[in-house]
C-alpha cells in the first residue's frame, strides 16, 4: 500500500511539473488546445514581464518582445504566419543594440552587428 501511495505522489508531482512546462510554452503535446487570438504576456517569478507575444489562428503573428529580468528589452520583432518577418533587434542588458536582423518569410536576409 505504501508503494501505491508513493507511486501516486510521484505521478502527481511529475504531472504538475509537465503542466507548468506546457503552460510556459516550453513543451508541446498533441492534444494541446488552440491558443486564443490576441496578445499574451508571460512573467518572471519576480513579476517582471518576460515576453509579450501575439497569436492569430493559433500562429505567431504580430509584434513579439522579450525582456531581461531587469525590465530592459532583450529582443523584438514581428512574426507573420508563424515565421519571423521584417526587422528584429537584439539588445544587451543596458539597452545597447547588439545586432539587427532582417527576415523575409522566416529566412534571414541581412544581419548587422554593432
C-alpha dihedral, 3 to 6 to 12 to 16, nearest 10°: -140
Contact 109, 94 (CB under 8 A): no
Tens of pLDDT, residue by residue over 30-58, are 556 889 999 999 999 999 999 999 999 99
Q: How many helices (H) and strands (E) does the chain have?
A: 1, 8
Q: Tell me the pairing of strands 49-56 and 38-43.
A: antiparallel
Task: Work out the end-to-end distance of the chain between its first and last CA atoms, rounded to an integer number of angstroms.
Answer: 64
Q: pLDDT > 90: what percent of the chain?
A: 69
Report the distance separating Cα 52 and Cα 77, nearest Å: 11
| Domain locations along the chain | 1-33, 37-113
Tens of pLDDT, residue by residue over 80-99, are 999 999 999 999 999 999 99
Report the distance separating Cα 20 and Cα 99, nearest Å: 32
- Owner of C-alpha cell 548587422: 112
Amino acid at each position: 500500500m505504501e508503494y501505491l501511495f508513493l507511486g501516486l505522489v510521484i505521478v502527481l508531482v511529475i504531472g504538475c511539473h509537465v503542466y507548468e512546462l506546457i503552460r510556459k510554452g516550453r513543451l508541446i503535446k498533441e492534444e494541446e488546445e488552440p491558443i486564443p487570438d490576441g496578445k499574451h504576456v508571460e512573467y518572471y517569478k519576480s513579476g517582471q514581464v518576460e515576453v509579450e507575444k501575439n497569436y492569430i489562428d493559433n500562429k505567431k503573428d504580430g509584434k513579439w518582445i522579450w525582456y531581461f529580468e531587469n525590465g530592459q528589452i532583450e529582443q523584438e520583432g514581428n512574426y507573420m504566419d508563424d515565421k519571423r518577418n521584417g526587422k528584429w533587434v537584439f539588445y544587451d542588458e543596458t539597452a545597447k543594440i547588439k545586432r539587427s536582423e532582417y527576415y523575409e518569410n522566416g529566412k534571414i536576409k541581412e544581419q548587422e552587428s554593432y
